[in-house]
Amino acid sequence: MTAAAAITKSAEMRDLAVDWPLELYDTLKAAGISHMSYVPDAGHSTLIRLFNEDAGMTANVLTTEEEGIAIATGAWLGGQRSVILMQSSGVGNCINMLSLPVQTRTPLLMLVTMRGEWAEFNPWQVPMGQATEASLRAIGVTVLRAETGEDLIEIVGQAAGMAFDADQQIAVLIGQRLLGKKKW
């Protein structure tokens, strides 16, 4: 049995305050996601590991977040549902490329771990952390925000439906408090 299968089997016993990445993996799989692009990020590390271990999933490591927008668009055109994982600092790299799915009404689902908020130790993360939501809204992306594991699971389930059933571009912001304090 793979690690992903073992994790999925124990879903009934999850505490979403800490096990939200495991439940999020199941939620994305249930939404038909078969493709994932990401820039490595500690906040997404469990989800990245689960998708990389899943033989039914295609995963792309990105050199910059904007590549993920083009790859997700191509995946959709090829009949696959895709999710992009990134940090709030990467949103600034995507603003111009986001015009592609917005103008073509191509479904887009992004999960954005926030930086520059609660317990942030790196002052360089603060400006983009503060500008992330407004930047996404300004380009035409619908923004939803989760602060608890329970909310995240519900929001991502709905966001996937909004994106793939209604051709919307959705970013789910995952609050830094949910991720926990970064330790370096």
Predicted confidence (pLDDT) per residue in 57-114, tens digit = 999 999 999 999 999 999 999 999 999 999 999 999 999 999 999 999 999 999 999 9
Q: Average pLDDT for residues 117-124, to the nearest whole number?
A: 81
Cα-based torsion angle of the residue sequence 91, 92, 96, 100 in order, rounded to the nearest 10 degrees: 0
CA dihedral 183, 175, 148, 25 (to 10 degrees): -80
Which of 2-11, 21-30, 121-130, 151-160 has the lowest average pLDDT?
Answer: 2-11
Q: Considering the entire predicted model, what is its pTM?
A: 0.90
**pLDDT at residue 182 greater than cutoff 90:** no
> What is the Cα–Cα distance from 161 to 68, expressed in whole angstroms?
20
Confidence at residue 79, expressed as pLDDT on a 0 to 100 scale: 97
Percentage of the chain exceeding pLDDT 90? 74
Q: Give the integer Cα–Cα distance in Å for 86 and 75.
A: 17
Which amino acid is located at 48 in the chain? I
Count of H-run helices and E-run strands, the chain: 9, 6
For residue 16, name the pLDDT band (cuts at 50, 70, 90).
Answer: confident
Give the torsion through C-alpha atoms of 59, 60, 64, 68, to 10 deg: -70
Question: CA nearest 83: which of 54, 131, 51, 114?
Answer: 51
